[in-house]
Structure 1
Amino acid sequence: MEYRNSQLFKLLDYPRGDTSSGRKLFEEISKLGLKELSFVSKGYRGVVFKGNWNGIPVAVKVPRSDSKKKNVVEKECEILKYLDEKLNEKNPAPKPYFCGNRFIVMEWIEGLPFKEAFKRFGKEVVLKALESVYLLDETKVEHSEIKGEKHLIFDGRIRIIDFESAKFKDKPRNLLQFVGYHLLRSTELLNMLKIDKEKLLELLELYKENPSKVFPEIVSFLLKFRKKVDTLK
């Protein structure tokens, strides 16, 4: 147990690995009533742990000890709070439960990565992903890492995690990034969806100028091809 705690304290102060600093942060987190803290993953700016808070699984993010940017978790929490207030039950981002200056406690999202979900459930997953990234565009929040496979999680709808690089932007490019990296660059998906690539590119150009008007057209375009594929089954 002592060895396991020591490893946990080092991870709480990753990558410096100062057990004394990690222990102090652990004590702060524990004061909230969080239990069963365990390491999950490391990012460019933060480290994520899973915990139990009054019987509810939660994600706990702390900044890396070598992060050169100040207020990393505060900025992410500001965006998470904003999305929660603006989108309510439609919000694809994790719900924030506690925001401190040294860590965030937020909703734990369990599900399948986008590509795996697509292989298992098909075209509906693409449409659900489009809805989620469009919601971010509507609220003027750019995730910045939509191209990352691990950031899109399917749990009945597409959830989007890891907002540490997110920012407010007048013309966010979440939908454009999603389509560019997950559809246009994936021969597998394009072939399975039977999509007219040139027409999709035309719609994306129009979307840049008028997202709210063109988004329904993109959905209708993909639905048309989905139905065409279904009739061939």
Structure 2
Amino acid sequence: MFDHLISEAQLGRFYSRLKSLGFEKIRPYAKGTTSLIFCARLDEKNVIIKLQRPDSPRQNFAREAEIIRAVEPFGITPPLVAYGVFEGLEYLVREFAEGEIIFHADLEKRHIFEIVEKTALLDRLGLDHGQIQGGKHVIVGERVWLIDFEKSGWRKPKNLTSAMAMVFLNDNHISRRVRKKFGVDRAFLGEMREEVRNYKRTGKLSGLLDLLSRL
């Protein structure tokens, strides 16, 4: 999977480093624009390992690790396991977010409330994830997790409004599926737009939560 992105020799050395730290069952998982992603086991837990791609000049994992540590106590994202540097390449390890990306998930009402809870909490912390609306970073399972804070920042946040646009207001695969499942009509969407505007003005969630309780 990574043959054209990292040499076999360097990959072998990286595996050896990980094994020396106690990681087992290491295998390629996916590749991103700036990272090579592996899954593994550590202390009976599944973990994700992100290694900076050798062809990427961006070094964001130290900053991402700091952000994960900051939000970790609030249960928004899986806990950070480790951060390090291997042959000049950053790597980050966190616990695996069990579930599937929201694009493929069958959303239940409780999931929608949890999305609201966690995105509103990020807003209150003053942290903007920056990639909520795309859906790839919202994992739905027994719990909802927000992952990959590489592009997040302590700036004016718009997490909840982005999430409601993705789940209800925009025309996309996720919103169409949710609207059909819950029988959402134009009147509901009109109320949703108004409640999102009210949230942006006041920061109050009560109207939005009341609306969602009618699903």
TM norm structure 2: 0.85
Structure 1: runs of 5 or more not aligned: 1-6, 227-233
Corresponding letter in the other structure for 1:217:
G
Work out the number of aligned pairs and report it: 204
Compute the displacement of 1:15 (Å): 5.1
Q: CA deviation at 1:74?
A: 0.8
Match of 1:106 among 91, 94, 103: 94
Pairwise mapping of residues 13-92 of structure 1 onto structure 2 (< 5 A)? 16-70=5-59, 72-84=60-72, 88=73, 90-92=74-76
Counterpart in 1 of 2:201? 209
Runs of 4 or more, structure 1, over 6 Å off, are none
Deviations 1:167-219 (A, max 9, x none): 221x21111111112211223423425252122112212222332xx223211
3-state DSSP of counterpart to 2:148: coil
Aligned-residue sequence identity (percent) comes to: 23
Tell me by how many angstroms 1:124 deviates.
Answer: 2.3
The equivalent of 1:158 in structure 2 is 144
The verdict on how the C-alpha distance between 1:140 and 1:15 changes in structure 2, with shifts beyond 3 A counting, is farther
Q: Distance in 1 between matches of 2:190 and 2:151?
A: 31
| 1:151-230 pair list within 5 angstroms | 151-169=137-155, 171-185=156-170, 186-191=175-180, 192-194=182-184, 196-211=188-203, 214-223=204-213, 225-226=214-215
Distance in 2 separating the partners of 1:92 and 1:189: 22
Instruction: Give the structure with the larger helix fraction.
Output: 1
Query: For 1:28-84, what per-residue CA distance to the aligned partner results, in whole angstroms no more than 9, with x for missing partners?
Result: 2222111111111111222221111122211111112222323x2111111111111
Q: From 109, 130, 140, give the equivalent of 2:116.
A: 130
- 2:82 maps to a residue whose letter is F
